């Protein structure tokens, strides 16, 4: 994959860059794995805005991605690498030997006609999913389960990967992309390799209209608001707000910890993420 830039004609193109989509093999998604994706513009069931700065954007269909990888012991063949508008990574359409089609997160290096496998007997190869118990120390992983027999929530963004540092007392010590070092049960599933689309972080949005296509509305500075809208609003001229930086509910916006003190999973965290 590469990044494409443009000549500044018009001028909005000067800082505009896009992916070249070289790894994409088809532009037509698998219809049986599409569902209608409705938007709410950041509003709840009463129509009130509960999440600001959302709305609009292009219409999308949601791709049903298999994050759990629970087809144990059945080999699958990669049919295509596709673009997914709902996530930063690429997805791969795979066909299992029993005829079932599924989407999975495409790891870096996975190609069409490659075979993938899920289970403890799977070889250590890109795209294969297995428990942490059988993955060697030092191997890069993604699509990690938080708890055994659970949906995989961790390490799914483009270009990210975790690394197994050690195994001890029924747990694997894993360094996450955020820098946090945490223990996970050896029964948790993970997929070998790094998530595809490594250059995603280097793409420049370039202009405001492009974020509107993504469904992101303009953000207003707190000091530019009125006092009724934000604690830092109001004042004569360019006032700094008259108080320490905070959110609209008055909580500190400069490093105040919001994690619960007696949360059960705190005992599994060895080192918190980088500040």
Give me the pLDDT at residue 15, please. 92
CB atoms within 10 A of CB 14: 14
* Omega cis (within 30) before 204: no
Residue for token pair 């270009």 = 159
Cα dihedral 234, 239, 240, 246, rounded to 10, equals: 0
Flag whether 171 is in a domain.
yes
* DSSP code, position 213: H
Instruction: Give 269's strand partners.
Output: 182
Contact 79, 26 (CB under 8 A): no
Flag whether 209 is in a domain.
no
Give me the pLDDT at residue 192, please. 97
Ramachandran area for residue 70 (φ above 0: left; ψ -120 to 50: alpha; else beta): alpha
Contact 105, 65 (CB under 8 A): yes
Indicate the number of domains in the chain: 1
Give me the pLDDT at residue 244, please. 80
Closest CA to 268 of 150, 133, 168, 131: 168
Give me the pLDDT at residue 4, please. 94
Contact 131, 187 (CB under 8 A): yes
Flag whether 64 is in a domain.
yes
Give me the pLDDT at residue 237, please. 84
Flag whether 266 is in a domain.
no
* DSSP code, position 264: G
Domain around 65: 3-201
Residue 96's CATH number: 2.40.50.140
Tokens, residue 183: 């223990």
pLDDT tens track of the chain, all 275 residues? Answer: 689 999 998 898 999 999 999 999 999 999 999 999 999 999 999 999 999 999 999 999 999 999 999 999 999 999 999 999 999 999 999 999 999 999 999 999 999 999 999 999 999 999 999 999 999 999 999 999 999 998 899 999 999 999 999 999 899 999 999 999 999 999 999 999 999 999 999 999 999 999 999 999 999 999 999 989 988 888 888 887 667 888 888 888 888 888 898 999 999 999 998 76
CB atoms within 10 A of CB 55: 16
Flag whether 105 is in a domain.
yes
Give me the pLDDT at residue 66, please. 96
In 3-state terms the chain splits into helix, strand, coil percentages (rounded to 5) of 10, 30, 65
Q: How far is CA 56 from CA 40, 62, 187, in A?
A: 9, 16, 42
Flag whether 231 is in a domain.
no
Flag whether 153 is in a domain.
yes
The model carries a pTM of 0.91
Flag whether 134 is in a domain.
yes
């Amino acid at each position: 994959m590469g990044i494409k830039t443009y000549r500044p004609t018009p001028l909005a193109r000067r800082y505009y860059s896009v992916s070249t989509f070289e790894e994409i093999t088809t532009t037509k998604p698998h219809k049986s794995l599409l569902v209608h994706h409705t938007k709410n513009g950041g509003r709840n069931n009463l129509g009130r805005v509960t999440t600001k700065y959302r709305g609009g954007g292009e219409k999308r269909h949601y791709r049903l991605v298999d994050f759990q990888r629970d087809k144990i012991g059945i080999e699958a063949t990669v049919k295509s690498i596709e673009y997914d508008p709902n996530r930063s990574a690429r997805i791969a359409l795979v066909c299992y030997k029993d005829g079932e089609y599924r989407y999975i997160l495409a790891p870096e290096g996975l190609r069409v006609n490659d075979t993938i496998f899920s289970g403890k007997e799977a070889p250590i190869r890109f795209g294969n999913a297995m428990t942490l118990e059988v993955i060697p120390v030092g191997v890069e992983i993604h699509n990690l389960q938080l708890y055994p027999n659970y949906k995989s929530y961790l390490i799914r963004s483009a270009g990210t990967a975790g690394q197994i540092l050690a195994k001890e007392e029924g747990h694997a010590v894993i360094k996450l992309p955020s820098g946090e070092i945490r223990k996970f049960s050896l029964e948790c599933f993970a997929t070998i390799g790094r998530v595809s689309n490594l250059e995603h972080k280097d793409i420049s949005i370039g202009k405001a209209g492009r974020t509107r296509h993504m469904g992101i509305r303009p953000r207003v500075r707190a000091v530019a608001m009125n006092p009724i809208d934000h604690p830092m609003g109001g004042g004569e001229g360019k006032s700094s707000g008259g108080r320490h930086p905070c959110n609209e509910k008055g909580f500190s916006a400069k490093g105040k910890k919001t994690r619960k003190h007696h949360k059960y999973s705190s005992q599994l965290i060895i080192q918190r993420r980088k500040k």
